[in-house]
Structure 1
Amino acid sequence: MTDPTPAADPGPASGSAPVPAPGPVPGSADADRHWLRLAVDRARLCPPSDTAFSVGAVIVAADGTELARGHSREGDPHFHAEEAALAKLPPGDPRLAGATLYSSLEPCAERRSRPRTCTQLVLDAGIPRVVIAWREPDLFVTGCQGTRLLTGAGVEVVEIPELADRAREPNAHLAV
């Protein structure tokens, strides 16, 4: 499967990386489904694991510019999707203050492989809005609290359950 990418500007003649053209502006139901489908499709790139979910994430600026994308185990066997996407941005990137993070699975609130959870990474980054397809089932952690912790900290969390079955597909080997 090819990696779906937004239309890209070839960038300046200096040979710098292409700049993605803005896509739909986050916030409308259609735009949220567009970006969340892209995150869900990223999960298909994850190497399967018997001890972790396959998750995809996309971070989108307030103007519809894709800032970063990531998937579980991208570049590191312990990376979670949100972590992989955030690692591609400079710490304190001011665009994060108006961004939306799209994730195929609720951000983790408990974790053994790293000191900070994805929920904490989102809060530390100052991302005010998170859109998910699927709440974390009680497989590795009982009663994931990511959504509760995010909303309790003032982050808007939107769930689009119509994409949950699609988010489960790359995790079929886990029988969830």
Structure 2
Amino acid sequence: MKRLFQLDYLFIHKLHYSKGVVHKRVRSKMDLNLKCRDDPVVLKLDTPEFRNIFTQEVMDLKKIFDKYNFEIRIAGGAVRDLLLGQAAKDLDFATTANPEEMKNIFTEENIRMINMSGEKHGTITPRINDKENFEVTTLRVDLVTDGRHAEVEFTKDWKLDANRRDLTINSMF
């Protein structure tokens, strides 16, 4: 019963759409904390598809974030693909580093950054080993959103970031 209540609470407090009109709602951090599970579900993957994503470029990206004491995890469509037993395409990452910290790290490590248009929402795209580009996005909370455009605040809390995402695979890391 408690789990059903949590889902109802999530649906009620998400933005709602009606005949093309989007109703905005400002959310507080306290409100977001109320909706997070205390016990996230953890699933360990050990499949050939999962092992194949760990290219030299992915490993180098992870080492860089480890060196500067920031967490980084695979996010988005790659998680969906892996759970479906498919090869992951288009690896995206989520991190506890904010955009300024990422820019400093990549500059210090002589890594070229491309497509800086997503910086406002926390996305930096480094080109690792001059071979592969990865979108790396800072964990964030949407303070005000119309479903597509948001005023954001960066966070280091994985649960707060997962909570702002839709109730699909996008809230999994």
Q: TM-score range by the shorter chain?
A: under 0.3
Which structure is richer in relative contact order (CA contacts within 8 A, separation 6 or more)?
Answer: 2
Bigger strand fraction = 2
After TM superposition, the score normalised by the length of structure 1 is 0.25
Bigger helix fraction = 2
Rg larger in structure: 2
